[in-house]
Each structure stands twice: as C-alpha cells, then as structure tokens.
Amino acid sequence: MKFENRKYVLISILILIGVIYILKLFYMQVIDERWKLRAQQIAEKKREIIPPRAVVYDRNGNKVISNKTYYNLMMVENNIKSLDTNAFAKLIGRSVQEVKERFISIVKGEGKYTNKHTGKTTSNYQKIRAYPFLKELTSEEISKIAPHLWKYPGFYEEVSSMRHYPYSNGANILGYLSEVNQKEIDADHFYKPGSRIGRSGIEKYYEKVFRGRKGIKYIVTSALNNTVGSFENGKYDTIAEQADPIYLGLDADLQAYGEMILKNKKGCIVAIEPSTGEILALVSSPSYDPNLLIGNRKIVENYPALIKNKDKPLFPRPLASEYMPGSILKLIQSLIGMQEGVISKNSSFKCTKIIGCHKHPTARNIAEAIQVSCNPYYIAAVKRIIQQGKERNHFKDSEIGLNIWAKYMNSFGLGVRLDTDLIGIRPGVIPNSKYYDKWYGHNRWKFSTIRSISIGQGETQLTPLQLANIAVIIANQGWYYTPHIVKSIGDEGPLKKFLKKKNTMVDEIHFEPVIEGMRRCVNEPGGTARLAKIDGITVCGKTGTIENYKGKIKQPNHSAFIAFAPQKEPKIAVSVFVENAGASGGVWAAPIASLVIERYLLKKIISLDKEEKILTAKFPTPKKQ
C-alpha cells in the first residue's frame, strides 16, 4: 500500500510541475508583454534586404521600367541621444514643429495591439526598431544630410529604389506602386513597414514575380545596441536576388504613337500579334505619365487630381469600357449562320424598310453584305439563327436559338472575362435567354423583340480588347491565344496558360468569305472602310457605327473599326474605338487603325495627310442631360 501511495504522490508532483510549466509558458508568451518585446529584440538582430524589382523591356529591347536609386533617412529611437532638435530640423530642411510631428506620426502609424486575453492595449511601435524618418530622398537631398549624421546618433541613411518609366506612356498597362498597409504585412511576411507593392497594371498582376527574393543579414550588436559586426562572419547570411528581367510583347514606340494620335480624344486602340496573342499596344485615352505616381510624395501630389479628372485618365478603357460593337458583330453573325447551316456563303437577302439601309445594291453573298454593311441582310440572317423551327412556339424556339447563339459568342471570348494578365478587365455582355427572362418574363419575348442584337446594337456590349481579339480570330481562321502583355519571364516564356490555343465553335472553312468581305470593305468601291486602305498592304477590316445615348438624349455616334494586316500571314490585328466622334466607323476609327498598321509594319508613316487630319480632328461636344 505504501508503494501505491508513493506512486500516486510522484504522479501528482509530475502533473503539478507540468501544469506550472504550461501556465508559466502561457504567461510569458501571452500575458507578459516583456517577453514579446524580448523576442522582438532578438529578431531585430536579423536584417532583411529587399532587392530592386525586376527591370522590364519591350519586345524590341527598350527598357520601359527601371529602378532609380533613392534614400531613406532612418531612425532608431533607442539610439537617439540628446537630439538638438533645432540643428537637426535645419539640417533636413524642416521646421522644429514638423520634426516633432513626424515622431508622433511614426508612432501613430504603427497602430496599437490589444491582448485578447488581458484586454491590455499597447503600441506596436518599438523603440529598438528602425523606422524611415524621411522617405524618397534624391541623391542631391541625401548628399546634404549624410555628411553630418555622425552628430545625430540614431539616424542613418538607407539606400532604397523606386520605379522609373523611361517612356511616359502605357500607364494603364504598367501600373504603379504604393506602400503596403498593415494587413498586407500580416498576410505576407516578405513585406515590412515602408515596403512597396503593385497597385495596378502588370506591377500588381506580376507582384510576386517582380519583387525577387529577399536576403537576410545577421548582425552582432553591443550592449548599447550598436552594430559591431556580422554574425559568424556572414556564414548564415543570404544574398538578396533581383528577379529576372521581364520582356513584354508591347512595342513601346507603337504605344507612344497610338497615344499621340488619340491625344485630345476619348477612346482606345488595341493591337495584338495574331500568331502569339501578344499585345503590341493598349492605348487608353486620355492617359497620364506613369512617372506622376512614383513614390508617396508624388502620389500625394498627383493622385487626387487624376482621380477627380472628369475624363477619367486612370480608367483602363480598353479593358473595362463595355461598348455596343455595332456592325462589327456582323462578322461573327455570318460565321454562326454558316456553321449552323441556316445560310451559306452565297445567301442573299433583299433590302427591306424594316431597318435603315445604306443605299447600296442588294448583297448577293456574305462577302458583299460585309463590304457594304447591310443591316436588313443581317436582320434576316440572324432571324434564321434564333428561330430555326426547333419548336412550333416562337417564344420557345427563340429561347433555344438564342442560347445556341450565345454559346457561339462565348467561344469567341465574348461575354466572358478573358483570363489575361491585365488588371480591371470586364467580360462584356452577350445576352442569353435568362438575361431576357429577367427583362420580359419567361416565354414573353421572341426574335422580333431582340432583333437589334443582329447588328450589334441593343444589349450586346464588348470591350475594345475583345473587339481586337475578334480580328485575331478571323485572321487565324478560328483560333486564338488569350491576349497577354508579358512575352517572357526571364528566359522561361509567358505563363503556361498563354500557350494554350483556344478554338471557336466555327470550322475553318467558313472564314474565307468573311475575310474576303473584310478585304472588300477596305479595298473595293462601295466598301465602308476605304479610308483604311494602305498602298502595298492588303488590310482586311470592318467598321462599326454605334448609336450613343446618355439617358434619353441622343449623343454623337461612336466610331469603331477592327482590322488585320496583311491578309496573308497577318502580323497585326487592331481595334479602334473613338467616343462621341459624330461620324461612322469609316470616317475616324478606320484611318486611325490604318496609321497604327503603317507604323508597325513599315516603321514609319507614309500617309502624312491622313495623320494630319486625325491629329487636328475636332469632334462634336456631347449634349448635357
């Protein structure tokens, strides 16, 4: 019995020791803030080194994003001894009051931490930690300060870098950086206070690629917390590695030219290489110089004016503006009709008064219908697609036909969000039966209700990027790679998803008459895009003239055009959309597209009169509601 009693006593003692040990650990790690501070002091012996972000080049080797050296004036409050505030303020070009306010703002900026067990609130600010006192100092600014910092213990200079954009173009493609917030620091320990992160464009999409790999340097400090050397002679240090260069499909010179010819206009230009899906130019007008948003100082100075600008220069029109495509959609209507077998390449429909026509001879085939952009032709053709007689009831029959039509459209990347490497992209609108059921009710609409979709008006809406991709698909006779801006990450090529070929639901054989119609549209008498003709280059294109209303008030028409060139082995596909142009797609958008094609294929402009006309164009002023 005595042995049994001793056993229980020993077990009880061991359990008691375990409980005491666990309670002590809980107290040290959760309740007693001194141990948290001690852990932070140990961690501060490790210095993280963040490398410069990746350098970016265009398709021709021109540097479009680089890094420029800047400096931060750092401070560690624990090391500051007897600061002469007046002298220090004079040195850094600030008032005494500004210096005092900066100390306060640093502390407040770190926020507070509340212990969920004790309810005690403490500041996240730590006197042993380094904080930037002044940020983004130029070489000239730091050169006036650095020689005198020995007089002010606790302050030192730190080399930093910020983005620099050698071209003042492509702001909506490239994006900008700003400082991380506490939530982002907590979510990803790569970042620390003062780090920058991509906020838009490729700077945001490829953030983890651009930032590289940070290094670690372990240091040894004295009792006074001064650095006295590296730990174990740097045995455990790691080197910061800058990310490999990024190569874009973008042609920086073409981008600059596109922005120049759209100056003082609202609209877009998108150019894509059909064989690869690489975006050659992505013009959003009006735009802004990306150098305006480099660093906090410039962001504070310039961002408010950009965001308040009524012309919305920060808005990525080619990706996010959803416009009715107008007659451009007739190209796909032709393809769907032939694939479904409800029309042939030689189908002919008489012009009727059911909808406005362009006073041309009756189109005898699809190529002629595209050439003259015949509205009645496509009302008749699309009616055959939507009402195929699969059901006797016209309402049910239209529902079946519309859903078939919508699936074809989706296979062209329309009405769906293209999975590209650009931020802010919209899917456009391709209505199906569910869409119209919400408006009219189930079985309460038929083709005659929705016939405006036949000519790209009404509920259909596409982005300029999708319009350019239509030209790509037709140039390739039925397939495309998802449009993308990055050509290669280092030597690895683009993301794998951009190497996957996507096929539409239309067979290759049906594209020939559509391409012929696009050729005639530009190069034959009676074509609606004669101003897009280029001597020595066969351009294939299609115009779009889009009715434009603001509320119930009729506004100047939008002008749109898509094209690819040359006809054989196409090298470039283009879409142009000009808002409130007040004229047809053939008057403004078509010649703009031809200039872009000239610039890319010939590396110069031969149509100088055409260029002058575009540069000096004046469009009607939109009416107020």
Mean pLDDT for 125-141 is 87
Q: From CA 384, how far away is CA 374, in angstroms rounded?
A: 16
What distance in Å separates the CA atoms of residue 19 and residue 50, rounded to the nearest whole number? 43
Six token digits for residue 619: 């469009």
Q: Tell me the CATH number of domain 252-615, given options 2.40.110.10, 1.10.150.20, 3.90.600.10, 3.40.710.10.
A: 3.40.710.10
Which of the pair, 423 or 123, is modelled with greater confidence?
A: 423
Alpha-carbon gap, residue 561 to 440, rounded angstroms = 32
Segment 243-253 mean pLDDT:
96
Reported as a single tens digit per residue, the pLDDT across 69-113 is 888 898 988 889 889 999 999 999 999 999 999 999 988 887 787
| pLDDT value of residue 588 | 95
Instruction: Answer yes or no: is pLDDT of 450 > 50.
Output: yes
Average pLDDT value for residue range 281-288: 96
CB 546 within 8 A of CB 323: yes
As a whole number, the mean pLDDT across the chain is: 88
Chain-centroid distance of CA 423 in Å reads: 3
Give me the mean pLDDT over the 595-621 stretch: 93
Domain boundaries, the chain: 48-248, 252-615
Q: Could you tell me which residue, 588 or 26, shows the higher pLDDT?
A: 588
pLDDT band at residue 181, thresholds of 50, 70 and 90?
A: confident
Phi, psi (degrees; rounded to nearest 5) at 488? -160, 140
Residue 223: per-residue pLDDT: 47
Give mean pLDDT, residues 281-286.
96
b/e per residue, 243-260, with b = 16+ CB within 10 A?
beebbbbbbbbbbbbbbe
pLDDT confidence of residue 358: 66
Peptide bond into 245 cis (omega under 30): no
pLDDT of amino acid 37: 47
Model pLDDT for residues 576-588, shown as the tens digit of each residue = 999 998 888 889 9
Residue range 300-355, pLDDT digits in tens = 999 999 999 999 999 999 999 999 999 999 999 999 999 999 999 999 988 876 66
Q: CA 528, 530, 534: angle at the middle one, nearest 5? A: 145
CA-to-CA distance for 368 and 44, rounded, in angstroms? Answer: 75
Range of 74-83, 168-177, 207-216 with top mean pLDDT: 168-177
Q: What confidence score (pLDDT) does residue 224 get?
A: 45
Bridge partners of 323, per DSSP, are 462
CATH superfamily of 48-248: Penicillin-binding protein 2a (Domain 2) (3.90.1310.10)
Q: If DSSP states are collapsed to H, E and C, what string results for 312-375?
A: CCCCCHHHHCCECCHHHHHHHHHHHHHHHCCCCCCCCCCCCCCCCCCCCCCCCCHHHHHHHCCH
Mean pLDDT of the region 200-221: 85
Q: How confident is the model at residue 384 (pLDDT cuts 50, 70, 90)?
A: very high
CA distance 292 to 494: 29
Per-residue model confidence (pLDDT) at position 38: 47
- Amino acid 543: pLDDT: 96
Whole-model pTM: value is: 0.85
User: What pLDDT score does 582 carry?
Assistant: 84
pLDDT at 123 over 90: no
| Bond from prior residue into 313 cis (ω within 30 degrees of 0) | no
Banded pLDDT at 498 (limits 50, 70, 90) = very high
Q: Kindly report the number of other CB atoms within 10 A of residue 553's CB atom.
A: 11
In this prediction, residues 451-466 reach a mean pLDDT of 95
| Statement: residue 227 has pLDDT above 60 | no
| The pLDDT value given to residue 5 | 63
625: confidence class by pLDDT, cuts 50, 70, 90: low
Confidence of residue 238 (pLDDT cuts 50, 70, 90): confident
Domains 48-248 and 252-615 in one fold: no
The pLDDT tens digits for 474-496 are 999 999 999 999 999 999 999 99
Side chain identity at residue 187, one-letter code? A
CA geometry: angle 42, 44, 50, nearest 5 deg = 140
pLDDT score at 54:
94
